[in-house]
A and B are shown apart, each in its own frame.
Chain A
Amino acid sequence: MRLEHPIFKGPLAPKLDLGSIDTPADYRSGPGGKDLPAKMESWRVQTGKFPDEVDVGLVSSPYGFEDSPDTEWISSGVNSKGPRSVALGRHGNFFLWGFAGDPSQMTESGRRVFVNAVAYMKKFDGKTPLVSPISQSRDLALLYTQYLAKYANADWLKKMYPEEVRKSTGLDAAKIEAYYSENLEYVRVVDGAFAVDPDAKTLGVSNRKPAILDRILARLAEDEKDALAWRLVKNYFERTFDGAAEFRAWVEANRTWLFFSDVGGYKWFVDHHAKRGAGAR
């Protein structure tokens, strides 16, 4: 939980019913589950037993959730997916209150935080999501290895890894994990599989950090037709550019607001809400 978040501060001051619970058994079988402590910090939001008294709620994937600047992971909730799943969170003008209980089932602090969340959202009028999820976060290239022992023959799982990776590792979980740990900053999804981008790797620069922009610009300054630089531009930008000068001008005009999103499609995007707020065109 991010207790420093504004919804826990006001306008209503909630007296949070904090405590600890036994770590849910379902969390143990998931990735990283073995390392979880025996007890977890908790806040009682609602009462009522599922399914007789209250419905199951909804949690969202935490993987890549915060890879765009218009998102906030606020809290998980007891669920069957994992301890980082999003039960309270925001993406753009959308807020998830993942708990299904109605106000009569909420604790007093639950009701107060709910009211705070409603009030908090007012400032996001017009702030539609900057990206839509069309791809999987690179974190999953590592996490899925923990499912290999259990689902080694599952096609959906095998397809996550490119053929050359499957061949070179024999789908050995430890080898795949080592491979992606070493190359995580160069990963992008190609045809639904976690591929390592040879161009980013050649430069030795993460494809999701601003340094790659400078490396591309530097190469284009030396050679306007640098093939590697243009492949990177083609792979990591939504729009096309008519030459190095246009690309340079565009990067410089938008640099302050550029961000990289895995789930948005492994591209650099402009935070147009922030740019517009700054009065830039």
Chain B
Amino acid sequence: MVARLALLLFLAPICAPPQDDEMGEARKFKILYAGQTGDDREDRFVKLLRERFDKVDSISLQKLSAEAANGYDVVVADWGRRYKGKGFSADKAPRAKLSPNFSRPIVMIGAVAGEIQHWSKINWL
């Protein structure tokens, strides 16, 4: 019993999530991940975000809108891979376009940045 308790105590720091105090107030931010649901990327991004933020939800990027982002502090926009060794597949692009009134803070990952909006200075070069 003592040995088992010692083992549990030994493992506890390894299994514990990253220290909350590092995030400070930011820990309370509400994050919406909008990506390709069911894709490995969704799992990995959501896992990373949930380690650091108390509230993280996930939806399809194709359902992202100003309304869907209501109640969240920051949106993360992502999509699945396009290449996978076979050249760029445009048909794998998301059918997603934000409306110009989209005003939530949004972090756009890779190609998505040039696909879901065209009115900021962020675009394909």
Contact = CB atoms under 8 A, between A and B. Distances in A.
Interface of A: 11-13, 50-52, 55-61, 64-65, 68, 71, 81, 85-86, 89, 91-100, 102-104, 111, 114-115, 117-119, 121-129, 132-133, 263
A93 B117 contact: no
A135 to B, nearest CB: 12
A93 B106 contact: yes
A141 B44 CA distance: 44
A118 B76 CA distance: 8
9 contacts: A11-B23, A58-B111, A65-B121, A95-B106, A95-B107, A96-B108, A96-B122, A118-B31, A119-B74
B102 to A, nearest CB: 8
Nearest to A13: B22
Contacts, number: 144
B109 interface: yes
B76 A60 contact: no
Interface in B10-48: 22-24, 26, 29, 31, 40-41, 44-45, 47-48
B81 interface: yes
A115 B121 contact: no
A11 B125 contact: no
Contacts of A129: 119-121
Contact of B122 (A60, A104, A124): A60
Nearest to B80: A55
Contacts of A132: 119-120
B114 interface: yes
A108 B72 CA distance: 26
A68 B22 CA distance: 33
Contacts of B23: 11-12, 119
Contacts of B59: none
B41 A58 contact: no
B123 A133 contact: yes
Contacts of B88: 56
B49 A91 contact: no
A83 to B, nearest CB: 12
A131 to B, nearest CB: 8
Given A55-B111, A71-B121, A132-B119, A126 B52 contact: no
Contacts of B74: 118-119, 121-122
A89 B49 contact: no
Nearest to B51: A115
Nearest to B123: A60
A111 B48 contact: yes
A71 B111 CA distance: 19
Interface string B83-102: 11111100000000000111
B39 to A, nearest CB: 9
A58 B47 contact: no
Nearest to A126: B103
B55 interface: no
A61 B26 CA distance: 31
